Amino acid sequence: MIYNYYNLEEDVPKDEFVDNVIEELLKQIQDEKKIVTANMYTEKTQMDSKEREHEGRAINNLVFCEKRGRKYYTCLKFSRKERIKTEIKKGDLCLLTVNDKEINCEINDINSNSVIVCTGEKIPKIRKNDLAKIDLMLNETTFRRWETNLLNLNKNGKKALKFYKNKIATKTDNKNKKIKFINTSLDKYQKQAVKRAVNSNDFFLIHGPFGTGKTTTIIELILQEVTLNHKVLVTGESNIAIDNILKKLKRHAKINFTRVGTSDKIPDYLKPYTLDYKIKDYLEDNRINDVEKLKIEEEILKHSQVILTTNSSAGSKSLSNIQFDIAIIDEASQATIPSVLIPINKAEKFVLIGDHKQLPPVIFNNDAKYLKSSLFEELIKKYEHQSQELLIQYRMNTMLLSINWNPNPELFNLFGISIRYYGLLWAVGIFFAYVVVHYQYRDKKIEEKKFDPLFFYCFFGILIGARLGHCLFYDPGYYLSHFWEMILPIKFMPDGNWKFTGYEGLASHGGTLGLIIALWLYCRKTKLHYMDVLDMIAVATPITACCIRLANLMNSEIIGKPSDVPWAFIFERVDMQPRHPGQLYEAIAYLILFFIMIYLYKNYSKKLHRGFFFGLCLTYIFVFRFFIEFLKENQEDFENNMMFNMGQWLSIPFVIVGIYFMFFYDRKKKVA
């Protein structure tokens, strides 16, 4: 339907109207900053520093490195060996605590293992290697970009404010653009939304509840705009929203798109599409100055058909001189007006996508009426004819959808000793294996005294092998230069002290090799046939492997890749992105293998040749391990450029050995 409106020019309000709205928004932003700062101070006194770091609002155990004086301020550099993962970023206002002295500061620079802060305050005496911590007081960058953008609104941003106040009408839609859908599986509502958005002149609104395919609709809209040779800006209120779009967009290899934003917050498998990655790939020599870097950024972004970033980062220096034909803004119902005005200000028209019946913007100042309402919500009330609702629900199983997973790794604390799920499940797995193997020894009438030392050989063989496997397979450079951290469950601190950490990193391939070697030593001592012992251990191994993977699940480690399957887990300790629960897949697979092993042993042990159970165990576990790796995140960055990751390459020889023992080894002899 075509809507005819009154003449736009006759009813355009004076600029004073826009100026008044901007003035009120700026005032409310200042009030919000004061309240957020006060809340941060309160939180700092109520939350443990470890909890704050876990939430991304603190950085602990920093070591002072150097002091750089300036005319009006001082820069202080801190570092630590552990990787810094935090929400704190350049430009944020923080509280630095060193030697029990608190100093107000601003983040000047931050990377994976160091932080530089600036302060205009008098600096207390600080010595090298003094420990410090940083607490976030205010995300200054976001507020600053809001304010800067409001003070520099062009005709696009000002027009959006007039729409917001219902002071002007939209132009008549252009119905001449033909649509040939690239994704022909879209439902009729999704197709209508794309068609109407492409043909709109000023703005368009797409809304629908969770599971109605808003992201799928966004992808089709992007493709259609690119087909029209339009430059597209795609933004959202969160990094997760943008990365979900990028995950689907990357399937369209012919499109030149670039992800702009902080690399630390972007999953490893998406980093090749980021601006930072492309800059490094652009040059052979990474040692470039800021001027050269800006020129390269400009060149990359100039040739990018689609640029994806958060609403806030759309106001970054990298995008300051780039204009777009259209801005597509996801999660628009959760964004404040100053936030969405940043991408809107950079485009000739905009499309807002969201669900106005769900979460509004998070604002602490109850009196900030302009900030508490979203532009999306206000426009959909006043311009319903410029919207399309998505009505078909594709995710009906709300009970299982996106399981939030964030258990405390510590089960309880006993007299200062931490009892963790990880260690407990390892112990349970070994206990079950002990029971199963002990049963086989009695069944085969093997002397009890030969069984007694078996546990110790297995335990230390698995532990030493798994530890050495992790260190040498995945990070040999670090551990060969930190030898004692490879052998002992400790970590040496930058100040020269050490702390007990437990063994952080165990590799199943190394554990398997360690077990095989340990059993060889055991058999030399007890004079038992090596393959008979391996077969007995193989029957019990799957239940132990199942418990170990459940231990990994409780630790939120060895996580799967992002996924929209109904049973996806959100590992809150890692990020807020739904992922495959790879640990659970493996645990279930190994439990099934255990039942298969018990069945075969009970019914066919005397008919199967020596080495069969050992071969079946290796083949089943490592074939499954090879394929499950496609659904799991790589453990180390160096694996990202490999055809198969390290776990897959290491699985292949085990599968070959397993097949040999299943089908070719000692076929004429039966198990005793």
Average pLDDT on 206-216 reads 87
Q: Check pLDDT > 80 for residue 289.
A: no
Whole-number mean pLDDT of the chain?
83
Q: Check pLDDT > 60 for residue 8.
A: no
Number of Cα atoms under 13 Å in the Cβ half of residue 336: 23
For 517-539, the pLDDT digits (tens) are 988 998 988 889 988 988 999 99
Q: Check pLDDT > 70 for residue 264.
A: no
Specify whether the CB–CB gap between 532 and 671 falls below 8 A. Answer: yes
- Assign 12 a pLDDT band (cuts: 50, 70, 90): very low
Of the candidates 484, 548, 550, 560, which has an alpha carbon nearest to the alpha carbon of residue 515? 548
Q: Check pLDDT > 60 for residue 155.
A: yes
Q: What pLDDT is recorded for position 4?
A: 34
Q: Check pLDDT > 50 for residue 2.
A: no
Q: What pLDDT is recorded for position 614?
A: 92
Q: Check pLDDT > 70 for residue 60.
A: yes
For 489-501, the pLDDT digits (tens) are 766 665 566 666 6
For 581-628, the pLDDT digits (tens) are 999 999 999 999 999 999 999 999 888 999 999 999 999 999 999 999
185 or 608, which is more confident = 608
Helix ranges (H only) for 329-420 are: 337-344, 369-372, 375-382
Cα–Cα distance measured from residue 491 to residue 484, given in angstroms and rounded to the nearest whole number: 9
For 537-547, the pLDDT digits (tens) are 999 999 999 99
Cα–Cα distance measured from residue 95 to residue 101, given in angstroms and rounded to the nearest whole number: 10
Cα–Cα distance measured from residue 606 to residue 544, given in angstroms and rounded to the nearest whole number: 24
For 391-403, the pLDDT digits (tens) are 887 654 433 456 7
Of the candidates 21, 361, 29, which has an alpha carbon nearest to the alpha carbon of residue 167? 21
Q: Check pLDDT > 50 for residue 5.
A: no
Cα–Cα distance measured from residue 285 to residue 55, given in angstroms and rounded to the nearest whole number: 36
For 452-487, the pLDDT digits (tens) are 888 888 888 888 888 887 788 767 777 777 777 777
Q: What pLDDT is recorded for position 493?
A: 60
Q: Quote the longest CA-to-CA distance of the chain.
A: 102
361 or 417, which is more confident = 361
Q: What pLDDT is recorded for position 203?
A: 94
Cα–Cα distance measured from residue 520 to residue 530, given in angstroms and rounded to the nearest whole number: 6
At 524, list the tokens: 């030399």
What is the pTM assigned to this prediction?
A: 0.58
Cα–Cα distance measured from residue 611 to residue 669, given in angstroms and rounded to the nearest whole number: 10
Cα pseudo-dihedral 59, 63, 65, 69, rounded to 10: 50
